[in-house]
Amino acid sequence: MNTTQTDNNAIITIDDMHKWYGDFHVLKNINLTVTRGERIVICGPSGSGKSTLIRCINRLEEHQRGSIIVDGIELTNDLKNIEKIRAEVGMVFQHFNLFPHLTILENLTLGPIWVRKTPKKEAEATAMYYLEKVRIAEQAKKYPGQLSGGQQQRVAIARSLCMKPNVMLFDEPTSALDPEMVKEVLDVMISLARDGMTMLVVSHEMGFAKSVAHRVLFMDGGEILEENEPHAFFTAPQHERTKLFLSQILE
Amino acid sequence: MEKTLPTQPAELVKPPATDIGILGWLKANLFNGWFNSLLTVIVIYLIYLAAPSFIQWAFLDSSWAANSEQCKMAGAGACWSVITANIRFILFGFYPHDLQWRPLLAVVILVLLLVYSRNRSHWRKSLFYGWLVGLFVMGLLLKGGLFGLEPVESNNWGGLPLTLLLSVFGLTAAYPVGILLALGRQSKMAVIKSFCVVYIELIRGVPLISLLFMSSVVFPLFLPEGMVINKILRAQVAIILFTAAYIAEVVRGGLQGLDRGQYEAAEALGLNYFQTMRLIILPQALKIVIPPSVSILISAFKDTSLVVIIALYDLLKTTQTTLTDPKWMGYSAEAYIFVAMIYFVCCFFMSNYSRKLERELDTSR
């Protein structure tokens, strides 16, 4: 009984997953189970494969060995499955990737209207709700190019939320921002965490990790070297590589 | 009656007169630096040399209504009556004389539709139906045979309607084909990709004239006996196929110019390939490539004059034919200036419109 319990509760199960770019082994033997409502921060030096890992979860990247199961659906080459999973998994990018030719409101309603087949009125109401939530509703009629970086990233988060995802992936959401804008984005992410969203966040924002993460993963050379709950992770890192990394970013 | 001039407070003091107004414009555009000033002086001098004699020839000494004898007597000035006397042949070619109101009306409908479609707020479904009806009416007017309109063989179509027909249809059909080819060239499916690459490279590797020639001379050899495909249609298809290959490469440039993140964001939302292309990628890519696309459309428009090679009488050919009439021989300057102006007006319309579109679609401000 106990095993089915955990299985039901797991929203992402990655088992013995490997990925290569040509000959280069980017991800090695990844095993990771994420339960519903869990918040995980992934850190590590650049080139360690942390972005690639979360991009595998909605198949922006393809893995070659092992399995990834998201919400009961295994990621294979079946396009229908991939589109279904992508609709369930929200993603926020380092460079926001808003659609510059559409207004903020259109950016938010596009997915619900075309993928979820939501009526336009309803999609717009949902969009305004989430724009309120990221405190940017007054900009709905503007174009992305007219907003600051921090505002754009908040819009990008709202855009993902409009799809009512079960999981949110964040790929270095604050590293392209000017320092004074980091906080406004982190605040939105923290309030999202309070609402119980399942989140996988690639980030070096250690304050964020300490305050909202259940677990912190450290990756290097394509492997998950260490994982622990935040307090233990920051105060008593086990691995030499982790110690070095932490000393470098915390100084 | 005398008023004292109000003394100006400091904040109303104007910038120096040489920086604003006409003087400012002159300074900024014609005389900024010694090199530009030199160029300006040289150009003014050249205009001074050329303009008076041109004005003398084109306007002061010219005759507008004289017949060819009188023109020859009059001597030095331009003989514009080569145009006025032959205007109907130049514009409509061998279309039966007393039916020429029909192609004229067709051209007027086409121009009205084009002008109306300039405004993007008019792009509604009704406009689409308007074009369908308009196209049908234009075809009917040219071809006849229905509603008591006397049928006219397409061999007799010529002049301006033929030029406009070949270019408007050629360009509107070539654009979507070009987009499909560009998408195909980026496809991950090897068969589609190689087909598109081979097609594009093959077509771009031959001159339009040879394509027209093949469509008119070689292609009929492969048709079963007795089957004839209209000559204009064959030329039209050749123009479409040719232009599409160039459009494809331009559009491909736009697709590659887009940030990879746009594809990823669209995919991450769960949009499928066609939605991604239609809603996200193409609107942005096509906007980027407006300037080079319009260059291609303009040159394709002018290239329609190459259909003379397969004995179609387009605008340029009817003009040339007029000049072979012994009465009007030797007035080629006047005749060519006239057609050049028609071509120029059309091309200017296109480039002007493209700039308008670019301004309207710019969302970065």
Instruction: Please give the residue of chain B at the shortest CA–CA distance from A83.
Output: B270
| B358: Cα within 13 Å, side-chain hemisphere | 13
* Domain assignment present for B361: no
Q: Do B269 and A83 touch (CB under 8 A)?
A: no
Q: Please indicate whether, in this complex, the C-beta atoms of B363 and A110 are within 8 angstroms of each other.
A: no
- Rounded Cα distance between B235 and B62, Å, is 39
**Binding-site residues on chain B for chain A (CB distance < 8 A):** 259, 261-262, 264-272, 275, 279-280, 283-284, 287, 361, 363-365
Does residue B312 lie within any of the structural domains? Answer: yes
The whole-angstrom separation of Cα B98 and Cα B354 is: 38
Contacts of B364 in chain A (CB under 8 A): 100, 143, 145-146
- For CA atoms B327, B332, B336, B338, give the dihedral sign: negative
B71-128 confidence digits (pLDDT tens): 666 666 777 777 777 777 777 777 777 777 787 888 888 888 888 887 777 777 887 8
Residue A49 DSSP symbol: S
* B262 neighbourhood in chain A, CB within 8 Å: 97, 99
Least confident of A60-69, B133-142, B270-279: B133-142
Q: Which residues of B263-290 are buried (b: 16+ CB within 10 A; e: fewer)?
A: bbbbbbbbbbeebbbebbbbebbbbbbb
Residue A60 has its nearest CB partner, among B268, B271, B364, at: B268
The residues, any chain, with a CB within 8 Å of residue B200's CB and separated by 6 or more, are: B181, B185, B245, B248, B249
Percent of chain A with pLDDT strictly greater than 70: 96
The answer to the question of residue B211 being in a domain is yes
pLDDT-derived band at A5 (thresholds 50, 70, 90) equals: very low
**In whole angstroms, what is the distance from residue B346 CA to residue B316 CA?**
14
pLDDT digits (tens, 9 = 90+) for B42-81: 999 999 988 888 887 777 777 777 676 666 666 667 777 7
Contact (CB, 8 A) for B164 and B323 = no
Q: What is the mean pLDDT of chain A?
A: 88
Q: Specify the CATH number for the domain of residue B298.
A: 1.10.3720.10
Contact list, B365 vs chain A (CB under 8 Å): 145-146
| % of chain B residues with pLDDT over 70 | 92
d(CA A86, CA A111): 11
CA gap B351, A204 in Å, rounded? 50
Assess if residue B118 is contained within a domain: no
pTM here is 0.79
- Report the distance separating Cα B285 and Cα B213, nearest Å: 34
Closest CA to B174 of B126, B218, B240, B108: B240
pLDDT over 60 (residue B2): no
DSSP string across B47-104: HHHHHHHHHIIIIIS-BSS--HHHHHHH-SS-BTHHHHHHHHHHHHTTS-GGGTHHHH
Q: How far off is chain A from B287, nearest CA to CA, in Å?
A: 9
pLDDT tier at B250, thresholds 50, 70, 90: very high
Residue B74 lies in a domain: no
* 8 A C-beta contact, residue A169 and residue A97: no
With CA atoms as reference, the chain B residue closest to A159 would be: B269
Could you tell me which CATH number the domain at A10-248 has? 3.40.50.300
Q: How far apart are CA B321 and CA B330, in angstroms?
A: 12
What is the predicted pLDDT for the residue at A119? 93
Q: State how far residue A120 is from chain B, nearest Cα, in angstroms.
A: 16
Q: Which residue has the higher pLDDT, B172 or B96?
A: B172
Residues of B in contact with A97 (CB under 8 A): 259, 261-262, 264-265
Chain A positions contacting chain B at CB under 8 Å are 58, 60, 79, 83-84, 86-87, 89-91, 93, 95, 97-101, 110-111, 114-115, 143-146, 159-160, 163
pLDDT of residue A3: 39
Pairing assessment for the beta strands A167-171 and A198-202 based on DSSP bridges: parallel
Total domains present in chain B: 1
Cβ contact A145–B364 (<8 Å): yes
Which of B262, B269, B362 is the best residue to mutate to test the A interface, defined by the most A CB atoms within 10 Å of its own CB? B269
Query: Is A86–B272 a contact, with Cβ atoms under 8 angstroms apart?
Result: no
Please name the residues in contact with B232: beta carbons below 8 A apart, sequence gap of 6 or more.
Answer: B154, B157, B162, B165, B166, B312
- Is the CB of B267 less than 8 angstroms away from the CB of A60? yes
Rounded to whole angstroms, the Cα distance separating A124 from A103 reads 12
Residue B292: give the domain boundaries: 168-323
When the pLDDT of each residue in chain B is averaged and rounded to a whole number, the result is: 82
Distance CA B8, CA B12 (A): 6
Of B262, B267, B364, the CB nearest to A86: B267
Q: Report residue A3: phi and psi, to 5°.
A: -65, -45
The residues spanned by each domain of chain A are: 10-248
Cβ pair B270:A86 closer than 8 A: yes
Q: In what order do the strands lie in the sheet with A24-35?
A: A24-35, A10-21, A65-70, A73-74
Kind of pairing between the strands at A39-43 and A198-202? parallel
Residue B364 has pLDDT above 80, yes or no: no
> Does B33 reside within a domain?
no
pLDDT in tens, B324-355: 877 777 777 778 888 888 889 888 988 888 88
